[in-house]
Each structure stands twice: as structure tokens, then as C-alpha cells.
Structure 1
Amino acid sequence: MIIIGIDPHKSSHTAVAVDAAGHKVGQRRFIVNSGTFGRLLHWCAQWPGRRFAVEGASGLGRSLAQQLAAAGEDVVDVPSTLSARARLLATGGDRKTDPADALHVAQVALFRTDLRRVTAEDQSTILRLLTERHDDLTGERTRIVNRLHAVLRDLLPGGAPTRLSAEKAATLMKGIRPATATDHCRRDIARDLLADLRRLDRQVKGNEAQMRDALAAARTSLTSLPGLGTVLAAKLVGHVGDISRFPTEHHFASYVGSAPLDASSGKRVRHRLNTGGNRALNSALHIIAVCQIRNDGRGREYYLRKISEGKTPAEARRALKRRLSNVVYRIMKRDQRVQLAAAA
């Protein structure tokens, strides 16, 4: 088996082929244009038994990885953190070049059997794109609202109330009577900001409608979990993708950062907070946990039980997040089994 490691860049891709012992047997640099994919496959045709390892197949290497997967090639995703560790262990004083990076990507794929296999984009990719767009829209909306608050503060005694909406802002602005040229300018800016806010509200509403349709097509039952609405369900499905890539719920918890890290030493057994993992999924679990703690139900009962056992509120909340990651994992596994049975 020949492993072909690829270090992708915007203007070029560097490929290095290694044999089963990790020794380099070929190297080539490809300029990125419309013929890159064809030239890569033509060069690799000399090794019928091959596997491609692309660094950052979910980022800069996404396009090439998807082309290879669509062509039926065996492709795995090598995180940049793993290739960086391989570079540190190699000789050469941690020199960083494109051929060296591609070599380390191939060597990681040669000795790691748990790398994520790249598959063709599906409904989960659509959901991830929609949630990322939702984050962009809501972030921009927050910025516009803050700016509108600042302008109205100088136009109205006491400024504008918190949780400002387009309707509230429009009502407040009806009573503004500018007395100076400066206030006239402020009012015009406030009108522009109000128009921007209304536009963003329409875009957010349309984005959420698209997410509901995409979730229906994905046939997930995640929204049955208390505290988990359309946006969070779309984020979970979009970021997780194929749940079968996690052998157990413990692997899933480690991926989302809800499982504590073992920090034992000698006879002392201890664990510490996991600040790694997928932070988007960790944030989603945090929001679900907070919603369940606020409302009556099994989540709040579990949280209060942990508090009665002597845990701090933060520790009890983290324990609930760990439990919720198990529940999310089981729901997604069950949905996958139902979908496979329906397709059989």
C-alpha cells in the first residue's frame, strides 16, 4: 500500500508518496488550476494500491479531498496538529517545507488507523454551511444593534432599552426631533442602521427556514431532546456528520470536549477540565445544559442531585454536559440505524 500525503495550499499542492515502511518513493508539486486533479491522478496511476492522506480535508484541502472521494479514491483526513507532532519528532530541526509537511502527513496516515475517512458531502455538510451562515448573520446583527444603541443614546434621554428590536427602535425614532445639524446626522445614521437591522432579521428568518427544511431531509430526532431547537440540532448534525466514526460514546465525549482529561500521577488519581475538542459542539451542549437547568425535567433533577452531592454549580453543569453528550450520541446512532433499515 502506497500512502500519498498532500500538503494543500491556495496556489499549489505538494504530494509525497511513501511505501509501507514510510520511505519516500515519489514527490511532486502541482499548481492549482482546472487541470490539477487530472494531473494528480495521472501521476498516481503508477501505484494502483494507494491511499490519499490530505491535511485539513475539512479546511483548505476540502476541494481536493472531495474530488478524490467522488472519484472513488481512498482518502483520509490528517489534522494539522498530528502532522505538526510528526514534524517535531523528525530529524532536521523542525524545518518546515511543503515536501516535508506532505511527507509527515503521509507518515501519520501510515501509522494511525483511526483517522477520519473522507466521504462525499451530504446533508450534514448543508447543515454545517447553514449554521455557519447563521452564526455570521447573528454576529453581524449584534454589532448593528450595539451601534444603534450607541447612536440612540445620544439622541434620546436615557437611550434605548435592552433587547432592542427593529420594531422598538422604529417606535423610538418616531419621536426624535433633531435640534442641531449633528443630531440630524445621527438620526440619518440611525435610520440606515435600522434598515440594516430589518434586512438581517429577514435573512436570519430565511436562514432558519432553510435549516428546518434541511433538518427534515436529514431525518433526525434530536429536536425531541429538551432544550435542543432547530439551530442547535442543525449545528450538531452539521459538525458531527457520520456518527459511526465514533466507536463509543466516550470517543464522542472526548471529541466534543465534555469528557474530563486524566491527569493522574503516581498514586494520585485526578482529572482536569478538557478545554480542547470541538468548541462549536461544546458550546451547543452548554446551551442545552443551561436550558435544562432552568426548566423542570430530568436534566434539572440530575443537576440538583449533583449539587446535593457537594459539587459546585460549574462542576454539576459539566457533569450534565457529559451526560447530554451520551444522550446526543445515542439519539444519532438510533437515527442512523433507522435510516439504514429504511434504505435496505
Structure 2
Amino acid sequence: MVVVLGVDVHKDTHTVVGADQAARKVGERVVRATDAGHRQLLGWARRQFPDERVWAVEDCRHVSARLERALLAAGERVVRVPPKLMAGVRGSARTRGKSDPIDALAIARAALREPDLPVAEHDDVSRDLRLLVDHREDLVGERTRIQNRLRWHLHELDPELDIPARGLDRLVVLDRLTDWLTEQPTTVVTRLAGELLADIRALTARINALEAEITTRVRRIAPALLALPGAGALTAAKIVGETANVTRFRSEACFAMHAGAAPIPASSGRINRHRLARGGNRQLNAALHRIAVTQIRLDGLGRAYYQQRRENGDTTMEALRALKRRLARIVFNLLKDQQPVTPDVLPAAA
């Protein structure tokens, strides 16, 4: 008998509830979120359910990563359950309220209802790339917050000071502002502005270094993806990191569903249409969206396909959805085959 072990993950503890094929609760265990706790959990599961086991882990990125690695290293089979899917199952259950055991059981039942969930893979290459991309985005966010504070200080010093919209990202602009501040009377505002300029300069150097490292890794890992129009190094790195080994998807349709690019039926009566998916991996969806928007601006088959959909009566959003679905298929095949593509070619749909 196959037992699905739903895991509700937290920083301090992991709650596990087993469910049989009829979605009935058959066991429960709470362990510390440590290496020792993971070993205890494995020992309990092997004693309680010696036959076939499937672990359904709530996909919470960094919170679930250590548990996933421990399970995969022990030879266990692990699938990832999106939190949105788990929440829907919990809302339709007879048991009211919310607790860790209720959530863990909902995760197990979601895995039973959705047999094609993405399988977790222990892929250090894609994980390292995702960590670098996430860290760079955190630094960019921190730099943006500092830049906003600096703009207010500079406005107080001189309301007519003109700074380009993206000027504080450029070292030449930072140098000019530093020289300008040295000519101003010494006040608390000028001192704070100078410190913020130094912080922005340091963050910019780190961000640029990370971008160079990411670009080098992507050229080695996924050169074919970089040849796709609209897929720059950062976008390609985001796709590789969020995909986490494309071989864990059974087909390109499963990959498109995971990315939130698969069409969702929105038909009623004589109206037959589809709409954009709001679920799936939003980071991966955003990367596909950037590629689609760029291809619409460029001359090529991506723009031609989009215009053809518009001429056939699709709305702007429907045509964009269709292009993103097409791109999901292309990205899946590029990652799977790792063969170079002609930069201005968008393969035809099957």
C-alpha cells in the first residue's frame, strides 16, 4: 500500500501526517527541523510504513530545502506541493480550523488528488544559481531603498538637482554627486547623504560582480537558452534556478503548468475561451513574461505569432497568454536538449 506523507514545514519543527489511498489519516509525527530530527523522521516512516512511501512537501523554498535534501539523500521519493494547492484542499475538507496537522493532511491529500506534481531533485548546479540570483535581487532591493532615502536628502539640499531615473545605478553619476556634496556646507544632511552614496557604491560593486558570475555560469550551463530572443543572462539564470532540473517534469505540458503558463478554461455555454493562469511558480512565470514582452517588441516569429493571434480575434492578454504557452514549450525543449538555436527563430507549435 502506498502511503503519502504530507509535510508542513516550519523553521523550528516539521509536522508529518500519513494518508492512505483513500485520503484517510494513518499516522502523525512532529520532529525538530534539524539533522537529528530528519533522521528520527526517516526512522519513524520506515517503521510505520515499510512498503512504498511518497513524501509530499509544501514548497516553501528555503524552509523546505534541508528536509528535501535529507530525504533525497536517503533514497526517498519527494514531490513538491504548491501552498496555493494545499490551501484549496484544506478549504474543502470537513475538518474546520487550521493547525500544523490539518495543513500536513491537506498537503498529503493534495498530492493524492494531483498525481503529476513536480518531483523534487537534488540539483546543486541549479540550486547554486538560484541562490546567486536571489541574493542579487535582495541586494538590488536594498540598494533601491537606500537610493530612495538619498533622493529625499538630495531634494532637501537642492530641489532643482536633476538626477536621471536610473542614474543612481551608474558609478559616473555617483562620482558627480560625491563631488557636489563636498562643495556643500557641512550639515547632518550632507553627512548622511555621503554615507548613503558610499553604501550605494559598495552595493553596486557587489551587484555587478554577482551579475558577472551569474552570466559566466549560465553560459556554461544553458548556452542554448541564451540564444533565445529576449532571454538575457539574468532571465535565463532565473529559469534554470526555478526549474531545478527539467528532467523532473514528465512533459512540456507539466512544465507549463508548473510555470503557470498553461491555459485555464474559462468557457461557458457558447463562449469558448481560456484565461491566464494565476497559480504556478510566479518567478518562472515572470521570466517567461519578460521574454514574451521582449519578443513582441522585436522583429521575429514571436512578434508575428502574437500579431496573428490578435488578428484572429484574441485580446491582448489572450495573445500574450498564447505566446507564453508557446515559449514554455520552447524553453522546456531547450533545457532538455541543450542544443544551440538560431537567435531569430521561434519554432512552430506542434
The normalised TM-score by structure 2 is 0.83
Match of 2:346 in 1: none
* In structure 2, C-alpha distance between the alignment counterparts of 1:96 and 1:18, rounded to whole Å: 18
* In structure 2, C-alpha distance between the alignment counterparts of 1:208 and 1:55, rounded to whole Å: 30
DSSP 3-state at the match of 2:338: helix
DSSP 3-state at the match of 1:117: coil
In the alignment, structure 2 segments of 5+ residues that lack a partner are: 341-350
Match of 1:129 in 2: 131
2:170 is aligned with 1:170: no
Deviation at 1:105, TM superposition (A): 2.6
Equivalent residues of 1:227, 1:288 under 8 A apart: yes
2:143 is aligned with 1:141: yes
What is the aligned residue count? Answer: 333
Higher mean displacement: 290-299 or 58-67: 290-299
Match of 2:14 in 1: 13
* In structure 1, C-alpha distance between the alignment counterparts of 2:287 and 2:36, rounded to whole Å: 41
* In structure 2, C-alpha distance between the alignment counterparts of 1:20 and 1:260, rounded to whole Å: 29
Higher mean displacement: 303-312 or 161-170: 303-312
2:269 is aligned with 1:266: yes
2:107 is aligned with 1:101: no
* In structure 1, C-alpha distance between the alignment counterparts of 2:89 and 2:20, rounded to whole Å: 17
Match of 1:187 in 2: 190
* In structure 1, C-alpha distance between the alignment counterparts of 2:262 and 2:109, rounded to whole Å: 29
DSSP 3-state at the match of 1:66: helix
In the alignment, structure 1 segments of 5+ residues that lack a partner are: 338-344
Equivalent residues of 2:214, 2:237 under 8 A apart: yes
* RMSD between aligned residues: 2.8
Higher mean displacement: 36-45 or 222-231: 36-45
Map residues 285-324 of structure 1 onto 2, 5 A cutoff.
Answer: 285-306=288-309, 316-324=319-327
Deviation at 1:24, TM superposition (A): 3.3
Q: Which runs of 4+ in 1 moved over 6 A?
A: none
Distance 1:166 1:190, change over 3 A: farther
Deviation at 1:171, TM superposition (A): 1.5
Deviation at 1:312, TM superposition (A): 5.8
2:46 is aligned with 1:40: no
Equivalent residues of 1:166, 1:194 under 8 A apart: no
Match of 1:116 in 2: 118
Aligned residues with identical type, % of pairs = 41
The amino acid across from 2:175 in the alignment is A
The amino acid across from 1:24 in the alignment is K
DSSP 3-state at the match of 2:98: coil
DSSP 3-state at the match of 1:113: coil
* In structure 1, C-alpha distance between the alignment counterparts of 2:113 and 2:279, rounded to whole Å: 23
Match of 1:154 in 2: 156
Equivalent residues of 2:274, 2:318 under 8 A apart: no
Equivalent residues of 1:57, 1:78 under 8 A apart: no
Deviation at 1:262, TM superposition (A): 1.3
Equivalent residues of 2:15, 2:28 under 8 A apart: yes
Equivalent residues of 2:6, 2:18 under 8 A apart: yes
Match of 2:205 in 1: 202
DSSP 3-state at the match of 1:35: helix
Match of 2:347 in 1: none
Deviation at 1:228, TM superposition (A): 1.4
Equivalent residues of 2:20, 2:26 under 8 A apart: yes
Deviation at 1:6, TM superposition (A): 2.3
The amino acid across from 2:335 in the alignment is M
* In structure 2, C-alpha distance between the alignment counterparts of 1:7 and 1:320, rounded to whole Å: 36
Match of 2:348 in 1: none
* In structure 2, C-alpha distance between the alignment counterparts of 1:310 and 1:105, rounded to whole Å: 40
The amino acid across from 2:78 in the alignment is V
Instruction: Deviation per CA, 1:54-90: give whole Å up to 9, x if none.
Output: 2236353221122011111122222333333333333
Deviation at 1:236, TM superposition (A): 0.6
Equivalent residues of 1:66, 1:121 under 8 A apart: no
Match of 1:276 in 2: 279
The normalised TM-score by structure 1 is 0.84
Distance 1:267 1:156, change over 3 A: same
The amino acid across from 1:29 in the alignment is V
Higher mean displacement: 130-139 or 83-92: 83-92
Match of 1:340 in 2: none
Deviation at 1:39, TM superposition (A): 1.5
Map residues 244-255 of structure 1 onto 2, 5 A cutoff.
Answer: 244-255=247-258
Deviation at 1:139, TM superposition (A): 1.8
Equivalent residues of 2:276, 2:321 under 8 A apart: no
Higher mean displacement: 144-153 or 236-245: 144-153
Distance 1:316 1:22, change over 3 A: closer
The amino acid across from 1:109 in the alignment is A
